[in-house]
Copies of this chain bind each other. A is one copy, B any other.
Amino acid sequence: MDAAEFRRRGREMVDYVADYLENIEQRPVYPDLEPGYLRSLIPSEAPLEPESYEDVMKDVERVIMPGITHWHSPYFFAYFPAASSYPAMLADMLCGAIGCIGFSWAASPACTELETVMLDWLGKMLQLPECFIAGTDGHGGGVIQGTASEATLISLLAARCKAIRRVQATNPEISEAEVLSKLVAYTSEQAHSSVERAALIGGVMMRKVPTDKTYAVGGHMLKQMVEEDKAAGFIPFYVTKHSGIECVCLFQFCATLGTTPSCAFDHTTELGPICNDENMWMHIDAAYAGSAFICPEFRPLLNGIEFADSFNFNPHKWLLVNFDCSAMWVKKRTDIIGAFKMEPLYLKHENQESGLVTDYRHWQIPLGRRFRSLKLWFVFRMYGLKGLQAHIRKQVALAKEFESLVRADKRFEICAEVIMGLVCFRLKGSNELNQNLLKKITKSQEIHLVPCQLSGRFVLRFAICARTTESRHIQQAWRHITQLTFELLQEPSH
């Protein structure tokens, strides 16, 4: 395919994309097919000779579309939103064409520099403390990671490295492996599974702090657990030259603002000082809810950020920037860079020792990286801060609308305070009843949701996801749910 054909096919694809998104609500939101459906629909080997583009596009409708869960349907209420907007898609086209691999400043200076400045823009939109902003006298800065899981892992590895160095600074005879074997991290029992997975990858122990009745961790809960663990001899101490005894082993706490099950908010203003006192790295994971902090009315939920060592949220969830784009800030750049730095000659460049450049490969797990800040730039400029705030507010209002519908029906209960765009609800009654309701919902293919578990109860999560979801979709979804509930309750078994 040459440039001339690309011009033609590209236009067709633009129209295909626009048609797809304009008519998406006509498609069943969730596919009805059996695992393995696709293999029999296409050949078992790649073709030897080129095929026609028409045949490929025909197969998109024949093979792919029947197997798609349509995340951008206004009837998709599952998981958390995956952001999508036209400006982000245009920026992604440009990103693909430039096709640079921005592992170092020299590999494409614009790729690195736009990222640093866009993370500053975004940090200012969130009113992050100055120490997190790169273009200040501070030592911090931002980076785009692929996912929040990677940000969580990176923060754990940076904290691990820092703790090991701290022990070895005063106890050089202790091996890295020995320190590693004694490190203990903490997180909420409601934290995302990726937090526990990060500990598994990092080879450190992770303890889960119980939550209060709002599913959040407060300061006294962390403090009590740490004290109990110390008393039980669960947390080993190191003798240090300066302070006598120090528990470097308590090396990280990962707080969550907007948990995945119920969008609960850990009390970071209480947790922060404890982490600082205990010399624990505090990472704040606000993967979903973080986008809302651009609205002044939600910003208080981020209070306590001043105590954090690192902070992360996903513009690719709720800020209209297509996946992947997870924004992460650290208070001290050297903490994160120091954990990974490797300098083979083939990656060296003239400017890297000047102290002026950022080589983002030291900030992340992969080496290669795409020019993702273009998406932020296009979206920020095409929406403006006000446009982005309007998007957040509209989706929160839709969640409140759904909450009202649920509250008005005595057969149902709301299971967690509705703060953002997520409503946790259930039929009063057994878990089995709610499981059956969800099965009916999934089977109907009209709307799509997923469950969670709260205090041992099976709960339905209704998340406002698509950019194009309107009040009429909420009303229709609720009519559908109550209709299926009616049918369910008619069944002899109930």
In this assembly, does A476 line the interface, its C-beta being within 8 Å of a C-beta of chain B?
A: no
Pick from A7, A261, A366 the residue with the most CB of B within 10 Å: A366
User: Are A450 and B346 neighbours in the complex by a CB distance under 8 Å?
Assistant: yes
User: Are A51 and B86 neighbours in the complex by a CB distance under 8 Å?
Assistant: no
**Beta-carbon contacts under 8 Å, A439-494 to B:** 439, 442, 450-453, 458, 461
DSSP majority for the A interface?
A: helix
Q: Closest B-chain residue to A92, C-beta based?
A: B96
Q: What 7 new A-B contacts, CB under 8 Å, besides A6-B17, A67-B110, A79-B346?
A: A14-B93, A36-B356, A47-B384, A48-B384, A177-B182, A193-B344, A201-B340
In this assembly, does A345 line the interface, its C-beta being within 8 Å of a C-beta of chain B?
A: yes
Contact of A71 among B99, B177, B322 (CB under 8 A): B99
- Residue count of chain A within 8 Å CB distance of chain B: 153
Q: Closest B-chain residue to A134, C-beta based?
A: B39
In this assembly, does A85 line the interface, its C-beta being within 8 Å of a C-beta of chain B?
A: yes
* Contact A197-B340, Cβ < 8 Å, known A153-B365, A345-B453, A385-B46: yes
Contact of A451 among B100, B324, B346, B386 (CB under 8 A): B346
* Contact A203-B200, Cβ < 8 Å, known A346-B452, A453-B345: no
In this assembly, does A90 line the interface, its C-beta being within 8 Å of a C-beta of chain B?
A: yes
User: Are A100 and B1 neighbours in the complex by a CB distance under 8 Å?
Assistant: no
Contact of A323 among B20, B101, B181 (CB under 8 A): B101
**Beta-carbon contacts under 8 Å, A380-400 to B:** 380-387
**Beta-carbon contacts under 8 Å, A1-59 to B:** 1-7, 9-11, 13-18, 20-22, 31, 33-39, 42, 44-51, 53, 55-56
User: Are B33 and A21 neighbours in the complex by a CB distance under 8 Å?
Assistant: no
In this assembly, does A335 line the interface, its C-beta being within 8 Å of a C-beta of chain B?
A: no
Shortest CB distance A363–B (Å): 13
Copies of this chain, count: 2
Contact of A46 among B60, B86, B125, B357 (CB under 8 A): B125
Residues of B within 8 A of A110 (CB): 31, 38, 63-68
In this assembly, does A107 line the interface, its C-beta being within 8 Å of a C-beta of chain B?
A: yes
Shortest CB distance A34–B (Å): 8
Question: Top 5 closest A-B pairs, CB basis?
Answer: A67-B110, A10-B14, A177-B181, A38-B113, A147-B366
* Contact A49-B384, Cβ < 8 Å, known A94-B17, A109-B35, A146-B146: yes
User: Are B382 and A50 neighbours in the complex by a CB distance under 8 Å?
Assistant: yes
Which one, A114-122, A277-285, A413-421, is touching chain B?
A114-122
Residues of B within 8 A of A39 (CB): 113, 116-117, 135
Contact of A120 among B44, B121, B203, B316 (CB under 8 A): B44
Residues of B within 8 A of A203 (CB): 176-177, 180, 202-203
User: Are A13 and B94 neighbours in the complex by a CB distance under 8 Å?
Assistant: yes
* A123-164 vs B, Cβ < 8 Å mask (1 yes, 0 no): 011000000000100000000001111100100010000000
Shortest CB distance A251–B (Å): 13
In this assembly, does A72 line the interface, its C-beta being within 8 Å of a C-beta of chain B?
A: yes
Which one, A216-224, A239-247, A347-355, is touching chain B?
A347-355
